[in-house]
Amino acid sequence: MRYCIALVKPWNEAAFERWRERLPGEWIVLRRREELTLAALQSIQPRFVFLPHWSWRMPDDVVAAFDCVCFHMTDVPYGRGGSPLQNLVLRGHSDTTLSALRMVHELDAGPVYLKRPLSLDGSAGEIFERAADLIMDMASEIVATEPRPQPQVGTPTLFERRQPHQSELPRGGSAASLYDFIRMLDAEGYPNAFLDWGEHRLRFTEAKLVDGRLTATVSVSPMDGER
């Protein structure tokens, strides 16, 4: 049996390599959106197409022809939409549910194959790494058992995708809330928390909160091209 997996983030690539020898069947790795066309998948004929950390809509002809499985970091229908990790942290959640969905035209609205608990402790990068291994475990179970996806139940709560300018560090708030703000944006490829100071931009990473005291690493760069 053939399976496709789209790997667009380094933590998913690393998790797949850790799991590769335990996965049954033949796995074809795709790394660019342009590879996920109807014609390309028809030539492969995968049983499932797995899409961890996928941020784009799949073409309707693809989701109609193949079982495309995406993974969303909320207990759907709560939290459909963009930037789930950041929206969860801002709402005070300390843990969440990772949902494996069959993709449909409407964003994050497809039926659910599996759900698993996921801690939101640590930086965004650490959370994504934990999620990546959990995704591979869920993908392995889907391949082994082929569960029938069940419709979502309840009234949807929608999240809006955050924009880079929203990463500006709040000027007020407690040490704990500032810690959460910095850590939720601390991952490769994400717009880190920042403050503009004169002609420079200060970016904050590696936040720690110990006994109510917040520390973080600050990098400074010229503002040229930032605005």
The pLDDT tens digits for 89-148 are 999 999 999 999 999 999 999 999 999 999 999 999 999 999 999 999 999 999 999 999
What confidence score (pLDDT) does residue 225 get? Answer: 57
CA-CA distance, 63 to 195, in Å (whole number)?
41
- Six-digit token string for 49: 């197409």
* Residue given tokens 């999620």 in the structure block: 131
pLDDT confidence tier of residue 42, bands split at 50, 70 and 90 = very high
> From the CB of residue 64, how many other CB atoms can be counted at a distance below 10 Å?
12
DSSP state of 66: S
| End-to-end Cα separation, the chain, in angstroms | 50
What confidence score (pLDDT) does residue 223 get? Answer: 84
Cα dihedral 42, 46, 50, 55, rounded to 10, equals 0
Residue-wise pLDDT for 200-214, tens only, equals: 999 999 999 999 999
Domains in the chain, CATH or no CATH each: 2-159 (3.40.50.170), 164-222 (3.10.25.20)
What confidence score (pLDDT) does residue 55 get? Answer: 86
Give backbone dihedrals phi and psi of 17, rounded to 5 degrees, phi first. -65, -35
